[in-house]
Amino acid sequence: PSTVMWFRRDLRLADNPALLAAVEAARADDASVVALYVLDETLWRSAGANRLAYLRASLQALDEACDGRLVVRRGDPADVVPQVVRETGAGAVHVAASHEPYGRRRDDEVAAALDDLGVTLERTGSAYAVSPGRLFTQTGGPYQVFTPFRRAWLEHGWPSPARRPRQVPWAALDGDSLPEGPEPTAHLPRAGEDAARRRWRDFLADGLADYPDARDRPDLAGTSAMSVHLRWGEIHPRTMIADLAAAQADGVDPDAVATFRSELSWREFHADVLHHRPDARTRSLRAVVPDDAWTRGEQEDEWLTAWRDGRTGYPFVDAGMRQLRATGWMHNRVRMVVASFLVKDLHVRWQRGAEHFMAHLVDGDVSQNQLNWQWVAGTGHDAAPYFRIFNPVTQGEKFDPDGEYVRRWVPELRDVAGRRVHQPWKLDTPPADYPAPLVDHAHERNVSLDDFQRGR
């Protein structure tokens, strides 16, 4: 007999309560554990080349950790998982619960199909320190505002990390090969649980103390770069929170620890919002401008293309868009600025920008991506003032004070020294191969404010 551990967005062995449950169930029955990954066409068809390449590398790392016994099967999980159960006579299928709209629907379908075989889908834990749907306000509703959510999240607390199971009796079973994807366009970070741990230990040692000062500076490597590892579950946030507490006990500034933990709670907040409002994946939670405010037709396509290609003529925006293409990642400050520029300067709907991000980000995650876009667009239900409009020049001057970041990603501006690089149109001889600004920020800002006024 055997038990199935179906890995999804938890591609690790350490601190994985679902795996521990599977291993314990198997030991009680003297059974083996099938390590299963289902390559679900619905998800991988919409993934860009970078995401697929990263996933492939992470699955290879997981396979090694499972003594080469990871079984990859391609197809619809509602067919594949029951098929594996029939082949192996498994008594249960273990997973970490999904909270995204598609994942929940898929799991319900799989659970129903397994039910027909008399087998249960055992859901243990989730990808979050506090599972979405767990915290409610005093009046019993879901949280809509971040700060009170974070307070409740901190008060709720979380269990200690689960131990890593040793000597798992992995079952041998035939699998399918991984699909050959298109070549990644980006230099991707190393994938897998060991790489995630290494990156995290390096950040704890060298980055955490400076995080509050350095995190908003895209010209410095001041953030953890853990988002991709969290996205694929190569590390669990609970592990990170426990390590943060240990770092604080070892003398790291409590403010640095609190600041970093607060960022992790943003991730949990967005997951909670999407859990309660699955429609937020595609729909604005609030309409803030009238429908005629949006750019349409050829103009929209032309502007969207310039934005995607990093040719808007605003260097800070263009640097971000090119960093995204080249690395599959973009610094958070720049994500906010480029998103604001698309929605408030080019008047293009946030959904179109979110789609481009999802195709290119290796950390692309539906709850984080869509709700951060809604936050910037002012259409989410958080308290962000909907009329906030980022100025692409002053943001650049403030957060890339010497222009290093721009020069790194926009080679046409490589010879422009210092912060003047943020306004190349003011140079005596602007570089000929760099575009003039697509729009006038001051003017478009007024258009947006006017739209907001009309939308009230």
Q: Which residues here bind ligand FAD, judged by CB under 6 A?
A: 215, 223-227, 230-231, 263-264, 266-267, 270, 332, 335-336, 339, 357, 361, 363-365, 368-369, 372-373, 376
Q: Which is nearer to ligand FAD, 215 or 277 (CB)?
A: 215
For the CB of residue 211, give the shortest distance to ligand FAD in the complex, in Å: 7
- Give the pair of three-digit tokens for residue 148: 């009170």
For the CB of residue 350, give the shortest distance to ligand FAD in the complex, in Å: 8
Q: Which is nearer to ligand FAD, 15 or 363 (CB)?
A: 363
Q: Which is nearer to ligand FAD, 189 or 435 (CB)?
A: 189
Neighbours of 25 (CB within 10 A): 19
* b/e burial code for range 380-408 (CB count within 10 A of at least 16 → b): bbbebebeebbbbbebbbebbeebebbbb
Q: Which residues contact 9 (CB under 8 A, 6 or more apart)?
A: 96, 98, 127, 231, 232, 233
Q: Are 369 and 59 in contact (CB under 8 A)?
A: no
Beta-ladder partners of 74: 39
For the CB of residue 98, give the shortest distance to ligand FAD in the complex, in Å: 16
- Give the pair of three-digit tokens for residue 393: 């020049």
Neighbour order of strands in the sheet with 32-39:
71-74, 32-39, 2-7, 92-95, 120-123
For the CB of residue 214, give the shortest distance to ligand FAD in the complex, in Å: 10
For the CB of residue 268, give the shortest distance to ligand FAD in the complex, in Å: 8
Q: Which is nearer to ligand FAD, 60 or 332 (CB)?
A: 332
Residues 265 and 251: their CA atoms lie apart, in Å, by 22
Cα distances from 213 to residues 19, 208, 221, 337, 371, in angstroms, run 38, 10, 11, 19, 25
- Cα angle: 97, vertex 99, 105; to 5 degrees: 90
Q: Which is nearer to ligand FAD, 79 or 355 (CB)?
A: 355
Q: Which is nearer to ligand FAD, 332 or 351 (CB)?
A: 332
For the CB of residue 271, give the shortest distance to ligand FAD in the complex, in Å: 9
Q: Which is nearer to ligand FAD, 31 or 240 (CB)?
A: 240
Residues 392 and 230: their CA atoms lie apart, in Å, by 29
For the CB of residue 89, give the shortest distance to ligand FAD in the complex, in Å: 39
Neighbours of 414 (CB within 10 A): 12
